Amino acid sequence: MLGMYAVYWFRTLWNIYPMHGAFLTSLLFLPLGFFLFKGVFKPLLSKPHLNQLIITIALSICLQGIAQLLWKTDFKVIRFEVGRIEVYGASVSILYLVILTIALLSSLLLWFFLMRTHIGIKIRAVAQDAIMSELMGIKTEKIYVLNMLISFLLAGLAGGLLICIFPAHPAVGVEFGLFAWVIIVIGGMGSVIGALLGGLLLGFIYVAASYIWSAELSLAIIFAFFIATLLFKPRGLFGAKARV
């Protein structure tokens, strides 16, 4: 949400080209993530997960409040057309293609980072067993900070890209956040490929169902699907880890 607004500001206030704005935002979010971690999350690391969840909800509400104060509740849009091209007989917006490409590239980069690099292995180790990792010499706190930074980087990027095709309003972060959770659960926790495929799957379902019935019903269907997955197939489609 904040990412979307940031790029909105860049465009409207300083007329920065949205694409550049998006990358700029993602970089700006790095220090933001760092400070938030130190200030908000670090003290809670030892507390039960539930506390952490509620704090994130609280944080989200605070940010929404700030957003409402700064930008009101109406929808903010960026007008940005780059033209369309023909792909197999269907007219597709170049903008969408560009965004799609960037998204795919970042996913692949992330996958590569997590699976093939040294640090990536450390991250996965901590995810599986934090205590053991600590004992093996991995500095778990640094890993957490790193996770946070990567997460904020990608979120900032995503927000910046999204503003080009969706309107922004304070609650939009929560909406997409919930979708993120749905995708993670359905695609399988801990699997980048799962997230990617899960996202694609959900995207298709959403568009298809919206076309046949309505947007809201398709959302209802997606949530129902999410609940079913949580109950019956907690590992999702590709998840390796079992849920706790």
Partner 1 sequence: MRKQGFSSIINLFKRPVLIFMVMLCFLPVLNLNPYVYHIVTLALLFASLAVSWGILASAGQISAGHSTFFGLGAYFSYFAMQYYNISFFVAVFLALIVADLAAFSIGYLTFRYGVGGIYFVLCTIAFSAFFSELFITFREFTGGSLGVSLAIVERDSFYYFTFTSKIPYYYAAITLFILCYLTVSGLRVFMKRLSVIRADEDLAYAIGIDVFKYKLLALLLSATFTSLAGSVYLVFIRFIDPEGVFGLWFSVEIMTVALLGGSTPFGQLLSAFILIPIGEVLRAIFSGVSAGLNLLIYGLILALIIAKAPEGLSGLLKRRGS
- The site for partner 1 (CB under 8 A) is made up of 40, 43-44, 49-51, 53-55, 57-69, 72-73, 170, 174, 178, 181-182, 185, 213-214, 216-217, 219-220, 223-224, 226-227, 230-232, 234, 243-244
The minimum distance between CB 239 and partner 1, in angstroms, equals 13
Helices within 37-139 (DSSP H only): 49-71, 94-116, 118-128, 130-135
Nearest alpha carbon to residue 154 among 2, 29, 20, 7: 29
The minimum distance between CB 198 and partner 1, in angstroms, equals 15
Nearest alpha carbon to residue 85 among 70, 96, 73, 74: 96
The minimum distance between CB 19 and partner 1, in angstroms, equals 30
The minimum distance between CB 75 and partner 1, in angstroms, equals 14
Tell me whether residue 63 or residue 102 sits nearer to partner 1 (CB atom): 63
Tell me whether residue 17 or residue 223 sits nearer to partner 1 (CB atom): 223
Rounded to an integer, what distance in angstroms lies between the CA atom of residue 67 and that of residue 48? Answer: 29
The minimum distance between CB 55 and partner 1, in angstroms, equals 5
Tell me whether residue 44 or residue 102 sits nearer to partner 1 (CB atom): 44
Lookup: tokens for 153: 């980087």
- What 3-state DSSP class applies to 87? strand
Tell me whether residue 97 or residue 174 sits nearer to partner 1 (CB atom): 174
Cβ atoms 85, 94 nearer than 8 A: yes
Tell me whether residue 162 or residue 209 sits nearer to partner 1 (CB atom): 209
Nearest alpha carbon to residue 42 among 58, 28, 29, 55: 55
